[in-house]
């Protein structure tokens, strides 16, 4: 917070001690006191809201800070009264200048320190809320983990999977981000043969025969119906040979494909 000392600095022989000088000084001090009082009221309101959610631990942490703020207000009001008393005596103008500058700087420093201490106290109180064990992990969408938590770097870049029944957690990476398929195959036509051997067998037909009587009165018989049996030898007509087909290999292209579904990225924060 910037100091306003230069704005109200007195100069011997030039500064007139009257309402034109002192009224702006009182207004500035009133404004600063009002801001500090508003800070105290805002934190008291915040503590009241937090208490409604049962976070009494935070209230216990902030209470000393608020008490210190109250004490600072009382001290500032006392200094304000003392300053007014000093102004009544115009012969101590140098003391007025010194006191005003010193008190202004002190008030500004006290307010800044109070704001820092209050913020740190709230963060510490939230971080130490009972019921959150050390090592617990939360999902965080901020750019850095909150106070009291550290980034679980061992989980960076990984999806989480619940351990199987009766199994214990295992932080060794498993699975893969990509996969591929091989499409190579072939067809085999082995060497083989066909047997074409065969035979023919049959019986001759029965030709007609006749009986003739000669003029001499003798009957000369002529052989009548008869047959001739024959069987051809086994004849084979075969052609054998190796018939072979073509064996070939057909292959398609393979490539790496992503396994990742649509997602957003977060931080895994671990309780210190």
Q: Which 3-state string (H, E, C) describes the chain?
A: CCCCHHHHCCCCCCCCCCHHHHHHHHHHHHHHHHHHHHHHHHHHHHHHHHHHCCCHHHHHHHHHHHHHHHHHHHHHHHHHHHHHHHHCCHHHHHHHHHHHHHHHHHHHHHHHHHHHHHHHHHHHHHHCCCCCCCCCEEEECCCCCCCCEEECHHHCCCCCCCCCCCCCCCCCCCCCCEECCCCCEEECCCCECCCCCCCCCEECCCCCCCCEECCCCCEECCCCCCCCEECCCCCCCCCCCCECCCCEEECCCCCCEECCCCCCCCEEEEEC
The per-residue pLDDT of the chain, averaged, comes to 71
Same domain for 33 and 117?
Answer: yes
Q: Domain limits at 56?
A: 5-127
Strands in 149-151's sheet, in edge-to-edge order, are 137-140, 267-271, 149-151
Q: Is it the case that residue 102 has pLDDT exceeding 50?
A: yes
Residue 64 pLDDT class (50, 70, 90 cuts): confident
Please report the pLDDT score of residue 90 as a whole number. Answer: 53
% of the chain exceeding 90 in pLDDT: 4
51 domain residue, yes or no:
yes
139 plus 39 within the same structural domain? no
- Look at residue 172 and tell me if it is in a domain: no
- At 87, give phi and psi (nearest 5°): -65, -25
Nearest to 47 by CA among 132, 127, 118: 118
Is pLDDT above 80 for 269?
yes
pTM: 0.31
Q: Are residues 34 and 72 in the same domain?
A: yes
Regarding whether 44 and 106 lie in a shared domain, the answer is yes
Establish if 225 belongs to a structural domain.
no
> What pLDDT shows up at residue 165?
73
Question: Domain tally for the chain?
Answer: 2
| Ramachandran category for residue 255: left, alpha or beta (phi over 0 → left; psi -120 to 50 → alpha) | beta
Whether the predicted pLDDT of 264 surpasses 60: yes
Task: Give the per-residue pLDDT at 15.
Answer: 67
251 domain residue, yes or no: no
Q: Which of 82, 111, 127 is the last residue of a domain?
A: 127
In a domain, 166, yes or no: no
Most confident of 54-58, 143-147, 183-187, 227-231: 143-147
Is the pLDDT confidence value at 75 over 50? yes
State the Cα–Cα distance between residues 88 and 81, nearest whole angstrom. 11
Higher-scoring residue by pLDDT: 85, 92? 85
How far, in Å, CA of 50 to CA of 56, rounded?
8
| pLDDT exceeds 80 at position 175 | no
Residues 16 and 109 grouped into a single domain: yes
- For residue 219, the model assigns a pLDDT of 53
Task: Please tell me the predicted confidence (pLDDT) of residue 142.
Answer: 85
- pLDDT at position 33 is 82
Residue 269: how many CB atoms within 10 A of its CB? 21
The average pLDDT across 109-135 equals: 76
At residue 36 the predicted structure's pLDDT band, cuts being 50, 70 and 90, is confident
Q: Is the pLDDT of residue 271 over 80?
A: yes
- Regarding whether 138 and 47 lie in a shared domain, the answer is no
The span from the CA of 119 to the CA of 62, in Å, is 9
Pair (67, 143) in one structural domain: no
Burial class (CB in 10 A: 0-12, 13-18, 19+), 100: buried
Nearest to 103 by CA among 79, 84, 87: 79
Claim to verify: residue 48 and residue 139 sit in the same structural domain:
no
Residue 202 pLDDT greater than 50, yes or no: yes
- Average pLDDT of 38-64? 71
């Amino acid at each position: 917070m910037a100091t306003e000392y230069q704005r109200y600095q007195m100069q011997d022989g030039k500064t007139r001690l009257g309402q034109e000088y002192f009224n702006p000084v009182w207004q500035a001090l009133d404004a600063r006191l009002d801001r500090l009082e508003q800070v105290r009221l805002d934190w008291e309101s915040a503590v009241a809201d937090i208490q409604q959610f049962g976070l009494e631990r935070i209230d216990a942490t902030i209470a000393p800070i608020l008490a210190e703020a109250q004490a600072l207000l009382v001290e500032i009001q006392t200094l304000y009264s003392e300053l007014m008393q000093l102004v009544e005596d115009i012969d101590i103008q140098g003391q007025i200048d010194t006191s005003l500058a010193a008190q202004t700087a002190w008030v500004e420093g006290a307010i800044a320190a109070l704001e820092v201490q209050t913020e740190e106290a709230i963060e510490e109180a939230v971080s130490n809320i009972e019921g959150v064990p050390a090592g617990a992990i939360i999902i965080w969408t901020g750019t850095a983990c909150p106070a009291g938590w550290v980034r679980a770097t061992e989980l960076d870049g990984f999806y989480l999977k619940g351990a199987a029944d009766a199994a214990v957690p295992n932080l060794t990476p498993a699975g893969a981000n990509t996969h591929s398929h091989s499409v190579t195959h072939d067809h085999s036509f082995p060497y083989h043969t066909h047997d074409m051997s065969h035979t023919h067998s049959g019986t001759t037909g029965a030709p007609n025969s006749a009986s003739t009587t000669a003029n001499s009165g003798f009957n000369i018989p002529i052989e009548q119906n008869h047959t001739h049996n024959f069987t051809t030898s086994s004849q084979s007509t075969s052609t054998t040979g190796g018939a072979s087909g073509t064996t070939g290999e057909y292959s398609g292209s393979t490539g790496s494909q992503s396994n990742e579904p649509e997602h957003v990225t977060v931080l895994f924060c671990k309780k210190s």
